[in-house]
Amino acid sequence: MIHIKDLRSGIPIFKALSSEIRVEILSLLTKNGSLNLNEIAQKLNLSNGAVTMHIKKLEESGIIDVSTAVGKHGIQKICYLNENLLTVELQNNKSENYYEYEIKVGHYCDYLAEATCGLATKDSIIGEFDDPRYFADPEHIKAGIVWLTKGFLEYRIPNYLKKNQDFKEIQFIFEIGSEAPYYNNNWPSDIVFSLNNKELGKWTSPGDFGGEKGVCTPAWWPPHLNQYGLLKLLRINEHGTFIDGCRISNVTISDIILDQKSDIKFRLAVADQGNIGGLTLYGKNFGNYNQDIIARIMYEIVS
């Protein structure tokens, strides 16, 4: 995810996106995963020189990455998306204070799991597949992937606010998908988010993604299982609750009733009705993003 906190710092990206051809290149990479320069030039009916110029702009902005590989006709430049989510803060208070922590996906403080389910570190499965008892194994805090068909995962977030500070916004950034036996790219699942037992709203995961290796997924992970999820940004502030900028409820930060002594418990649960398609959380060493759950606490100073 590229997060632009002020407009001026985003100028290189805005320039990169100002060309219709470069937007078309991003569309091709989104659809195909990766393409070499010749393939892009052929699909857009452009010369290799023209495509090279546009690719350079996109690479400089950080939106795509380019690697070299040996092909049938010599060295090839392979282009692929470096990020699949871009957020822009149009209003930014430079005096705003915040702190953030990265919580391992296996470092839950409470859970309920029904098969198919399991968890694994970057090196091996913890226990056995589809046996919820291993969710209590002490090794669970090292897990880089956790999955379950029914149930929930709950995480405790540190609260370091002082008496003269008030909560302004809480953000969670995580890679998530559904949970199907093996994998199923079309497997919708309604996932409900809660904070301190206050339901924030739900989001429908479109699938349990597989068929191609996750960027960070270890080599030993079986190819017939799910490989990666979608990176999501959940925000709770004075205006409501949002996923990737889209409102999912009118629950505000004030509705949570937080102060410097409050516990902060974040829960992700499979809905009890509707699309009951499980959930999978991807942390470091799994999926497409080398991160665990990022929790960001924004606050303001009060007199």
Rounded CA-CA distance 185/208 in Å is 5
Domains in the chain, start-ordered, CATH in brackets?
A: 2-81 (1.10.10.10), 93-301 (2.60.120.260)
DSSP 175-225: EEE---SS-BSS--EEEEEEETTEEEEEEEE--BB-SS--SS--TTS-TTS
Amino acid 91: pLDDT: 58
Asked if 208 and 179 count as a contact pair (C-beta separation under 8 A), the reply is yes
Q: Which of 155, 162, 164, 157 is nearest to 261 (CA)?
A: 162
Q: What is the token pair recorded at 205?
A: 């995961």
| pLDDT at position 68 | 82
Query: What tokens appear for 81 in the block?
Result: 């998306």
- pTM of the full predicted structure? 0.74
pLDDT of residue 8: 66
Please report the pLDDT score of residue 14 as a whole number.
86
pLDDT of residue 62: 83
Distance between CA atoms of residues 4 and 90, nearest Å:
9
- pLDDT tens string for the chain (303 positions)? 676 766 766 777 888 889 999 999 999 998 888 899 999 999 999 998 899 999 998 988 888 988 887 766 678 889 988 776 777 766 554 446 889 999 999 999 999 999 999 999 999 999 999 999 999 999 999 999 999 999 999 999 999 999 899 999 999 999 999 999 999 999 999 999 999 999 999 999 999 999 999 989 999 999 999 999 999 999 999 999 999 989 999 999 999 999 889 999 999 999 999 999 999 999 999 999 989 999 999 999 887
What is the reported pLDDT for 231? 93
Alpha carbons 132 and 115: distance in angstroms, whole number: 7
Which pLDDT score, from 0 to 100, does residue 93 have?
A: 47
